Amino acid sequence: MDGEQQLDARGLLCPLPVLKAQKRLRALKPGDRLLVIATDPKAPGDFRNFCEAQGHRIVAMEEAEGEFRILLEKGA
């Protein structure tokens, strides 16, 4: 799918997953999606705060075996 990319942030600690996602989102068009895979336990809260502050949306978030998959949608 053209409008969805993936960012592997496993092993990175706060704030690196959010900073790397922010950089990737800048290059995307509104409505495009970025799947972030992270292992930092703080990632879910960090991404909630980031999206609230920046106008992006969390489409889905799941955790399995210490790995978080967070699907973000770029805001306008």
| Residues designated as active site | 14
| Structure token digits, residue 51 | 């999206």
CA distances (Å), 4 to each of 65, 68, 74, in order? 24, 17, 10
Collapsing DSSP states into helix, strand and coil, what is residue 55? coil
